[in-house]
Structure 1
Amino acid sequence: MATPTSITINRSTLVKPAKRTWSGRMSLSEWDMIGAITHVPTVYFYKSTSSTSHPNLLDHLKDSLARTLVTFYPLAGRLEPVGGGRFDLDCNGLGVRFIEAEARTTSLDELGGDEDLSSCTDFQPLIPEVDYTRPFGEWPLLLVQVTKFRCGGIGLGFNISHAVVDGLSALHFFNEWARVARGKGIGMVPFLDRKVLRAGQPAVSRHPRFDPAEFQRPPVLLPEAGCSNNKGNKPHYETKVAKLKMTKTKVQMLKDMANETTFDHRPYSTYETLTAHIWRCACKARKLKPEQLTSVGVCVDSRRRMNPPLPNAYFGNAVLDIKAVSRSADLITKPLGYAAGKIRRAVEKADGEFLTSAIDYLKNQPDLTEFQDFHDGEEEDDDEGPFFGMPNLGVISWLRLPLLGLDFGFGKEVYMGSTHEFDGDTMLLQSQDGDGSIVLAICLRVDHMEAFKRCFYDDIIV
C-alpha cells in the first residue's frame, strides 16, 4: 500500500459563521472537562466525480460550512481556561480552520495498494494537524482538510475537539453540514444548553455516593524480577496498527461461546462479547503474569441513562469512561462469558443515580487536571493513557454510530478511516462491505501484534 506522504498545503483559512451568532461564555459540563481534551481524527474518501473535479468545490464546501456554523456556532469558538483544570467555551466566532491540500504523487487506488483502502493504516497526512504548542485558548475546535488526489478523488479529513463534542454529537454536525452542502436545510437543530447536565452549577451533594475508585488510574504493569517500574527508566516501544475483519458467522460463533456459561438475564451483546475476546487475546499476546491486574475501558453513553434522559439532539459530551478490572489468569483460564460478565457489570453500574453522583463528585474536586488526558504526540509517555498501554486497553465501539453515508453532494464515501497511536487503543467498526462483518482497528506494540492476530482468529472454538 502507499502512504500519502507527498502532501502540499495550498491554503489555510478560517471559516466563520455566515451570519452573526450569539457571543459569550458557555459553561461546559463535567463530562466535557474530563477524559480526552484534545482532538479526534477521522477521514472520508470520495471517488472522482464531476462534483469533486468542479473548480468551485472548495468554495462550495467553505460556504456550506459557514452556513452550518450559524446553527452550530459553538464549534467556531475557543476554549478558555478558568482555573482548576476547568474551562469555558467562548463563543467568539473566530472560526474553523479549513486547509486546502493536494496529494501530488498518490491516487486513491495507490493508497490502497493491491487491496482496498481498508488496508491503509496511515491516514495522518490527510488529517489536519493541531498545533498543541500554541496556548490552549488558541486551538481551533474543528479543523478540516480537503486533499485532492491525482485521480480526481478527494479526502475529507476532520479533527474535532473532544472537549466540546463526543462521537455522536460530532457526527450530528458532519451530517448536517453534508445536508446543507446538498442544498437542504438543517434537519435536526442541536440542543446547545448544557445546563441539562448542570453545567456551571454547584454540586447538589457535598458527599456523593459515587465511588472515587472509578476515576483512579488503572493497574500498572508488575515489574520484571530485578527491574524497576520507574517511568523514568521506561523503554520506548514501537507500535503498529492492524485492521482485523471478523465475519458475521464468526461473530455469532464467538457470542455462542460467551453465552455457554452465562447465568445472566439476557445473552451477551456483540460489543460485550467482542470486547471480552479482545481483552483476553491482549493478555495472551502480551504474556502478562497470572497475578497481573488488567483493565479494559469502555465508553458509556449517558443520554438515555440520565434521569430524566437528555434531549435527543443534545450537543456536547455525554459519555463516561468505565473500566472493568480482572486478573490476567482469570481472563485466560475461565470461559469467555467470565470476561463478558465483567464488562456488563461495569457498564450496568452507570444508571441515572450513578451518573448524577459522579457529576457531584467531580464538581467537588478542586482541580480536574488529574482526570484529563492529553496526547499530543510529543510527550515521553504518550504511548500510555488512562486505558492504554500495558497491561490495559480501551475498546471504543462505533458500531451504532451513523458513520457511513456522508454525502456532501458528490456521492457517499468509498471509505472512512481514523488514526490509532497508542498501545491498546482499539475501535470496533461495521464493515463497509455491508455483509454484517465487523472490523477491529487495533494499535499494539510490534512485538505483540502477530500473537494477538493468532489469538483473535484461532481462539474461536466451534
Structure 2
Amino acid sequence: MMSSRTSFSVVHGEPELVVPAGPTPRELKNLSDIDDQEGLRFQHQVIMFYQKSHVMEGKHPATVIKYGLAEALVHYYPLAGRLREWPNRKLTVDCSGEGILFVEAEAHVSLKELGNSILPPCPHMKELLLDVPGSQGILGCPLLLFQVTRLTCGGFAFAARMNHTICDSLGLVQFLTMVGEIARGVSISQFPVWQRELFNARDPPRITYAHHEYDETKHCSNKDTMDFDQMAHESFFFGPKEIATLRSHLPQHLRKCSTFEILSACLWKCRTKALGLEPNEIVGLSPFITARGKVGLHVPNGYYGNAFAFPMALSKAGLLCQSPLEYALGLIKKAKAQMGLEYVKSVADLMVLKGRPKYKTKENYLIGDTTHVGFYDVDFGWGSPIYGGPAGAIPFVSFYGRFRNNEGEDGVVVPILLPHHVMKRFLFELVKITSEVPVGLSYNKITNRSML
C-alpha cells in the first residue's frame, strides 16, 4: 500500500476548453442570492477513482468523458459561461459558450499502489488536478475544471474543481450523471432546471431569524483557535462499531437519531475540547442542510443551484464539553429544525441587506454531508467509483463521504483540518468517546481504524 509521501510521475496534456456540442442561447442569467454569498466564492474540489472495466476495453476514459461533457453542456449551457459582478456584488452568468477546462493525463501508478491515499485528504491532488494558470478566479474564469488521469492498471482518476457559486454538490452530481448517461448511450434521466429566483430575497427584504452563522467575528485571545500556520490534515473512518458505540452514549429514546446527527455531535464536542477554549466562550456548529424536499420550498427536480443553508447550533464551550453527548445532539436537532421556507428567505434577505457576507468561522465548525449526494452513482461506463466525494477538508469545514474499508465495512470518512497540537488532543478525545474499553487498552487499535 503506497505511503502518502510516495511520489509518481504524471504526464499532463495541454489544458483545453470543452465547449457545448451544439448552439446555445447567448444571454445573462442571474445567480440566486444564496448562490453569490461570499462564503461560496471559492473553488471546491472532488475526486473519483474508477477500476478497469472489461466492457470498456479499448476505450479511453478521457475521450469518452470529453464527448459526454460537450453534449451535456448543450443542456447545462450556463456552466460554459463566465461570471460577472454587478452593483451590490450581484453575480450574473454571461452564457458565452466559452467552455470548461479539461486536462488529460497519464500517471505511472496503479490503484493498488495508491491504496488508501485515494481517500481524503488525497495527497496527490496537485498531480491529479492540474492548477491551470489563470483559471482560479471567481470572475471571468471557467466555472469547471476536469482532469482524467489514466492509471497503469487500466483504471483512472476523475478530478473536478467547481466554482461553488454556480452549483452545489448535488448540482454537480446531476450534471455528471447526465455526462455519464450520454457517454453510455442511455436515456437522459433528468434535465436541468435554472429557476434561481426561487432563492432570491424578498421585496422588501426582511431578516426574520437570528442568523448567528453570519455574526461578525469578535477578537479572541485564544491562540489555539487562530494559529493555522502549521496544519494537520487527517481523515477518520467511522464504521458500524464506532457509530454503535456513539449511540450507546445516548438515552434509549434518542438512539434512532441519524448517523449525521450523532457523528456531528461527537465531532463538535471532541473538537471543542481539543481547542482548549475558555468555559464561557460561545462555540457553534453549522450543519449544511439541504432545501430540497423541505416543506414549503418546492425545489423542482433538476435544480442545480446552491439549495442549502447552515443554521447554527450554539453553546458555551464549558457546557458542551462537560455535558453528555445528548446535549450536543439536542442542539443540532434544534438548529436543523429551523430549516424551511422562512429561514431560507431570511438568509437571502440578509445577503442583500448586509453585502453578501461570509459565514462565521471564529469558534464555528461547519459540516457538510455528501454521503447521500450520489457520487457513487456517477457511471461513465466503468461502473461505480471505488471512492467518490470531497478531496479533503478546508479550514473550519469538514465534508462527510462514503467509503468501504479494507475490512468490508461501509462507513463514513471525515477529513479534518486542525493545527498539529490541536489534532493530537482531538484524536485523544475521539478515541475516548468511540472506544468500548479504557483508552489505555484501545488507543492504538482505534487510531489505526480511524486514521486513514
TM-score (norm 1): 0.84
Q: Give the residue type in structure 2 aligned to 1:405.
A: D
Give the gaps of 5 or more residues in structure 2: 437-452
For 1:437, which of 411, 414, 438 is the aligned residue?
411
Q: Distance in 2 between matches of 1:336 and 1:56?
A: 50
Shift of 1:284: 1.9
For residues 276-311 of structure 1, the C-alpha deviation after alignment (integer angstroms, 9 at most, x for no partner) is 110111122222222222222211111233624111
Say whether residues 1:452 and 2:426 are aligned partners: yes
Q: Distance in 2 between matches of 1:332 and 1:26?
A: 47
Q: Distance in 2 between matches of 1:403 and 1:220?
A: 39
Q: Supply the RMSD in Å over aligned alpha carbons.
A: 2.8
- Which residue pairs with 1:185 in the alignment? 187
Say whether residues 1:73 and 2:45 are aligned partners: no
- Which residue pairs with 2:197 in the alignment? 195
Say whether residues 1:238 and 2:241 are aligned partners: no
Q: Distance in 1 between matches of 2:10 and 2:348?
A: 44
Alignment of 1:19-30 (within 5 A): 19-30=22-33
Q: State the secondary structure of the residue aligned to 2:384.
A: coil
Q: Distance in 1 between matches of 2:233 and 2:297?
A: 40
Q: Is the deviation greater in 416-425 or in 56-65? A: 416-425
Q: Give the residue type in structure 1 aligned to 2:377.
A: G
Shift of 1:197: 2.7
Shift of 1:461: 6.4
Q: 1:397 to 1:220 in 2, by over 3 A?
A: farther
Q: Give the residue type in structure 2 aligned to 1:440.
A: V
Q: State the secondary structure of the residue aligned to 1:314.
A: coil
- Which residue pairs with 1:215 in the alignment? 214
Shift of 1:347: 1.7
Q: State the secondary structure of the residue aligned to 1:326.
A: strand
Q: Give the residue type in structure 1 aligned to 2:123.
A: D
Shift of 1:182: 0.8
Q: 1:325 to 1:128 in 2, by over 3 A?
A: farther
Q: State the secondary structure of the residue aligned to 1:84.
A: helix
Q: Distance in 1 between matches of 2:350 and 2:185?
A: 46
- Which residue pairs with 2:336 in the alignment? 347
Say whether residues 1:175 and 2:191 are aligned partners: no
- Which residue pairs with 2:353 in the alignment? 364
Question: Structure 1 vs Structure 2: percent identity of aligned residues?
Answer: 25
Q: 1:25 to 1:183 in 2, by over 3 A?
A: same
Aligned residues: 429
Q: 1:9 to 1:311 in 2, by over 3 A?
A: same
Q: Distance in 2 between matches of 1:133 and 1:169?
A: 21
Alignment of 1:255-404 (within 5 A): 255-259=247-251, 267-305=256-294, 307-365=296-354, 367-368=355-356, 371-372=357-358, 386-387=360-361, 391-404=363-376
Q: 1:177 to 1:248 in 2, by over 3 A?
A: same
For 1:48, which of 35, 38, 52 is the aligned residue?
52
Q: Distance in 2 between matches of 1:285 and 1:30?
A: 36
For 1:418, which of 362, 379, 390 is the aligned residue?
390
Q: Distance in 2 between matches of 1:279 and 1:329?
A: 13
Shift of 1:335: 0.8
Shift of 1:37: 1.4
Give the gaps of 5 or more residues in structure 1: 374-385
TM-score (norm 2): 0.86
Q: State the secondary structure of the residue aligned to 2:193.
A: coil
For 1:252, which of 244, 255, 261 is the aligned residue?
244
Q: Give the residue type in structure 2 aligned to 1:278.
A: L
Shift of 1:75: 1.0
Shift of 1:99: 0.5
Say whether residues 1:59 and 2:63 are aligned partners: yes
CA contact (8 A) 1:203 1:364 kept: no
CA contact (8 A) 1:52 1:153 kept: no
